[in-house]
Amino acid sequence: MKNIVVFASGSGTNAENIIAHFNKTNSANVVAVFSNNPNAKVLDKAKKWNVPTIVFSKEALFSKELPEKLNAFQPDLIVLAGFLLKFPPTIIASYPHKVINIHPALLPKYGGKGMYGMNVHRAVIENKESQTGITIHFVNTDYDEGHIIFQKRVPLTGLESPEVVAEKVHQLELEYFPGVIENVLNLPNQY
């Protein structure tokens, strides 16, 4: 059984979907949810599934204490699911090709610092894109620039509001993220 640790900052719908998916398999388990937001709804969702939670400050993200807590869970994969802070290079180096993220756009477009949530969807609409989607990628030391693992597209009519685009993208996240995680867990270390 492989261990997944999820990092999340917000509502936790993706995190809960991942927990539920792996709760039905015998391939992996979400063994912890880490959050930088003590008020994040993801913490309640994790507790509902009896998944341990760790809350930390932004400063702790770059301390020695957080990697020690993370290492205690012996993660085979670290999944960023709506985690809004830049991930520390020390953890990335300790877990090469074992940290993945989901982004609510088709990278390399609409990535980088500040490009998350509704900021992304507004930019997609302002630029009159005919499609958008999700990108799941390995995390490196630059925002949204790691090797792309998976993309899924959804067409846009040009009449959608940012909220409608967000919902279309979220449906893709819920449908595809757990399966891609499962595939990544089964990859040989080739990257």
Q: Which residues are catalytic?
A: 103
Contact between 127 and 115 (Cβ < 8 Å): no
Structure tokens at 175: 């449908």
Classify residue 32 as exposed, middle or buried by CB count within 10 Å of its CB (0-12, 13-18, 19+): buried
Please name the residues in contact with 153: beta carbons below 8 A apart, sequence gap of 6 or more. Answer: 106, 131, 132, 133
Neighbouring C-beta atoms of residue 188, cutoff 10 Å: 5
Token look-up 């994969």 returns 77
- Name the packing angle between helices 41-48 and 13-23 (round to 10°): 20
Please give the Cα distance from 104 to 65 (Å, whole number). 30
Contact between 83 and 8 (Cβ < 8 Å): yes
**Residues recorded for the chain:** 191
